[in-house]
């Protein structure tokens, strides 16, 4: 997953159960990756820093950047 120009890409990512998803911040601005439902929460990620989470249960996981709450994305785990 990329964080680029204030956008999580892809906006919706579908993965099988057990997948570790890694987000990398390509912006010059710090961002976070925070589950809307409290499932995961990154520290502030500066340029080129990463956050990883392993999805062990099926479901739909919306998330956002707590610094810029209009930045949102979704991981779908099947
Ligand atoms: Cu942000």
What confidence tens digit (pLDDT) does each residue in 11-42 have?
999 999 999 999 999 999 999 999 999 999 99
Taking residues 49-65, report their average pLDDT.
98
Q: What pLDDT is recorded for position 51?
A: 98
Domain total in the chain: 1
pTM: 0.96
Instruction: Give 32 Cα–ligand 1 centroid separation in angstroms.
Output: 6
Instruction: Give 16 Cα–ligand 1 centroid separation in angstroms.
Output: 26
Instruction: Give 71 Cα–ligand 1 centroid separation in angstroms.
Output: 6
SS3 per residue for 6-73: CEEECCEEEECCCCEEEEEECCCCCECCEECCCCCECCCECCCCEEEEECCCCEEEEEECCCCCCCEE
Query: Residue 10 is part of which domain span?
Result: 2-77
What CATH number is attached to the domain comprising 10? 2.60.40.420
């Amino acid at each position: 997953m990329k964080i680029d120009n204030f956008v999580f890409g892809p906006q919706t990512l579908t993965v099988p159960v057990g997948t570790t998803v890694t987000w990398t911040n390509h912006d010059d601005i710090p961002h976070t990756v925070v589950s809307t439902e409290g499932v995961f929460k990154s520290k502030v990620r500066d340029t080129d820093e990463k956050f990883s989470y392993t999805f062990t249960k099926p479901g739909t996981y919306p998330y956002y950047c707590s610094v810029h709450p209009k930045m949102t994305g979704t991981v779908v785990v099947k």
